[in-house]
Amino acid sequence: MTIKVGDKLPETTFMEMTANGPEPRSTADVFAGKTVAMFAVPGAYTPTCSAKHLPGFVEKQGELAAKGVDEIVCTSVNDVFVMGAWGSESGADGKVRMLADGNGDFAKAIGLELDASGFGMGSRSQRYSMLVKDGEVAELNVEDGGGFAVSSAEHLLGQL
């Protein structure tokens, strides 16, 4: 079953690269008591993700913060080392938290997994954005097929 507006996020664990190395982050650690703009990409370093999706949220971080967003989170079914490197190389440090959903547990738990085995990528996450308030989904924007429109930073900003 796919998550919907009004649902609480399920408890799962992400991994985040820190100065001390990889560290686990529970759903509660990330979302409790905050307004979070979260977006997911099918893969770090993939064309649309690197050229548009992540850069859009990096660029719009100040505008999102001005509209009440406490934090921006990017997640993907990639390992923590890839997510850490991609964030650093993309200028996301201090603007967008890069959380690895290495085994796809979060994507599966919210019903937004993607079978990309036809492209040699295995199980991934669909492309989406959501606004989460204290762990509850307030807005959810899932892309149809391979598109990139409703999950953009600009679209989410327009919903605030």
pLDDT tens-digit map of 15-32: 999 999 999 999 999 999
Give the percent of the chain with pLDDT over 90.
Answer: 76
For domain 13-158, the CATH class is: alpha beta
Does this model's pTM top 0.95? My answer is no
Give the percent of the chain with pLDDT over 70.
Answer: 94
pLDDT, position 120: 64
Q: Could you tell me if 9 and 34 are in contact, meaning their C-beta atoms sit under 8 angstroms apart? A: no
Q: What are the tens digits of pLDDT across the range 102-123? A: 999 999 999 988 766 767 665 7
Name the strand (E) or helix (H) holding 86. Answer: helix 80-89
By annotation, the residues acting in catalysis are 49
